[in-house]
Amino acid sequence: MSEPDTPEEPEAAPEAAPEPEPRPASGSREQPAAPADEPFSVEGMMEALRQAKVSELVLSTVSTLASVAYGKLELPDLPEAKEAIDAIGALMPLLAGKLDAGILRDFEQALANLRLAYADAVSKAQ
């Protein structure tokens, strides 16, 4: 018995190899990201720190502290929450004029909300 003629499916085109990432121009301080299979490099980490802007690191720290503060308020671990909130308050002036006004306003609002939540938690604990 012969099988009916069926149109053959076209073979899938072989996947193209990913293009290599462009290398920075000679003399550039920017280093390409290390492939995932390469081991951690202290030198790579040091280079990343040299290139980082302090305002970006401060913003990252403020964001982390805000998350910690909210978590501490939920526990409630009020002394730890207060310490995180106070640290945010100390760091925020360093960001003035260095960030987009909208981002700065969002973080100032988050700080105000944390302060209110802390005051509420303290009054409930008494």
Q: Of 95, 88, 91, give the one whose Cα is nearest residue 115.
A: 88
Identify the structural domains of the chain with CATH numbers, from first to last.
Answer: 54-125 (1.20.58)
> In angstroms, rounded to a whole number, what is the distance separating the alpha carbons of residues 119 and 40?
44
From first to last of its 126 residues, the chain has per-residue pLDDT tens of 545 554 454 444 444 444 444 444 434 344 455 555 667 899 999 999 999 999 999 999 999 999 999 999 999 999 999 999 999 999 999 999 999 999 999 999 999 999 999 999 999 999
Taking phi over 0 as left and psi of -120 to 50 as alpha, with beta for the rest, 27 belongs to left
Distance CA 73, CA 81 (A): 6
